[in-house]
Amino acid sequence: MNPAEDYIFNQSEPYRSMMMHLQMIIERTVPEAQLLYKFKIPYYYINGIPFCYCSRSKNYIDLGFAKGQYLTVFPEHLVTANRKVIKSLRYYDLTDIDDVVLVAILRDARAVQN
């Protein structure tokens, strides 16, 4: 395992299951994304450019998008948290993850990345 996968595997439940589910969806939807360990968190890069990260906060998982300010689909699901560039999806439980919304936002983020 690489350090990013170690980070995910070493999380307590339900965070581990949530992060593993997100990892599966990200890697299936954006297969060219490379999982690295940057800034002490799992961070996906595409062609050496930051794409999205998965971070555990106190009571949720934050899936942040590096170019979030350009995302246009499902804006009601995206959190800015006083950030100008990054927007994120926040998940408090595995059942909070809506795969349809997640895949649509990942595709939008991939299109923005180009």
The percent of residues in the chain predicted with pLDDT above 70, rounded, is: 99
Q: Is the pLDDT score of 4 beyond 80? A: yes
Q: Which two tokens mark 113? A: 């990345």
Q: Is the pLDDT score of 84 beyond 90? A: no
Strands (E), 1-114: 34-38, 41-46, 49-56, 61-65, 87-91
- CATH number of the domain at 25, please: 3.90.1150.200
Are the beta carbons of 52 and 66 closer than 8 angstroms? yes
Give the mean model confidence (pLDDT) for residues 19-38.
97
Domains held by the chain: number: 1
Separation CA 40–CA 110 (nearest Å): 23
Q: Which burial class, exposed, middle or buried, applies to 76 when counting CB atoms under 10 A from its CB (0-12, 13-18, 19+)?
A: exposed
Q: Is the pLDDT score of 114 beyond 90? A: no
Domain enclosing residue 85, as ranges: 3-113
What pLDDT score does 74 carry?
96
What pLDDT score does 81 carry?
85
86: left (phi over 0), alpha (psi -120 to 50) or beta: beta
Are the beta carbons of 89 and 63 closer than 8 angstroms? yes
Q: How many Cα neighbours within 13 Å face the side chain of 22?
A: 35
What pLDDT score does 113 carry?
85
